[in-house]
Amino acid sequence: MVSESYQLVSDVGVAKAGKSAIDLVILGMLSGVYLAFAGAASTMAAHNFWANPETFGMGRLVAGMIFPCGLILIAIAGAELFTGNTMMMFPLAQRRITVFSMLRNWIIVYIANLAGAMMMALLVVLSGQLHIPPNDLLGGMTITIAAVKCNFAFHEAFLLGIFCNWLVCLAVWMAISAKDLAGKVLVIFFPICIFVTAGFEHSIANMFFIPVGLFAAQFNPHFIEAAVVPPEVLASLTWKNFFLANLLPVTLGNIVGGGVCVGLVYWYVNKEKQS
């Protein structure tokens, strides 16, 4: 028999494959919103550290201590996150779900995540939350973060995506297995803190981080002057690069990191125990 942990993860994947489209849309948008909340808070807390090369690493750590709140909200309140759902490869390998039902979930949830995150990106900019006088450094760092993410080589973004979702799906796996709320919070916090501190790339988080930078540059040109990035890097901040230079390779890397490195690996090493 599969151990209780593996059975729980498999059962969750089966349940996700059977959810209605409207439920997936609503819950997918909520995930985008929750990660946007975490992204806005982590940027607010860390932007002064990031602006100084001597404290940049500390800024990563500060952001890494706050951003896990997004996945904690998703896991405990309940929502659908594309990156976590890449582990549906596990019940797929067990032949408990079909390729069609897995891809249906992925596509609907991915688009819903995008809608929720981009909606929040626009609302954050319109709210004035990025405007902190007198130097507009928060707005400038928001644009800086987005521009840097659009400046990766394809293979770099792909590999950073693998590393990220490997950790995210380990966090999700352990959260599913945890017996109480405190346990879920603890097992989510540390892997997510690692990926943010290390600077790995998460496709759904980037659906907030890059559009919020694009919207900030469009609606508040003064923020561009506060950006701490070379002009050639700043020039890479375009909608085209958002989708093709970041979102595409990072998404592919996230699928490998969560679906293969976690889902299929743990299926393979435990397939002899399955009945």
Tell me the C-alpha distance between 109 and 82, whole Å: 6
The pLDDT assigned to 5 comes to 87
Q: Where are the domains of the chain?
A: 4-270
Q: What is the CA radius of gyration of the chain?
A: 19
Tell me the C-alpha distance between 105 and 90, whole Å: 14
The tens-digit pLDDT sequence of the chain (275 residues) is 447 888 999 999 999 999 999 999 999 999 999 999 999 999 999 999 998 999 999 999 999 999 999 999 999 999 999 999 999 999 999 999 999 999 999 999 999 999 999 999 999 999 999 998 778 999 999 999 999 999 999 999 999 999 999 999 999 999 999 999 999 999 999 999 999 999 999 999 999 999 999 999 999 989 999 999 999 999 999 999 999 999 999 999 999 999 999 999 999 998 866 55
Determine if residue 238 is left, alpha or beta; phi over 0 gives left, psi from -120 to 50 gives alpha, anything else beta: beta
Q: Are residues 169 and 87 in contact, defined by beta-carbon separation less than 8 angstroms?
A: yes
Residue spans of alpha helices (H) in the chain: 4-17, 21-50, 56-66, 68-73, 82-85, 89-93, 99-127, 137-149, 154-177, 181-198, 203-219, 221-226, 231-234, 239-241, 248-255, 265-270
Tell me the C-alpha distance between 231 and 228, whole Å: 9
The pLDDT assigned to 1 comes to 40
Q: What CATH number has the domain spanning 4-270?
A: 1.20.1080.10
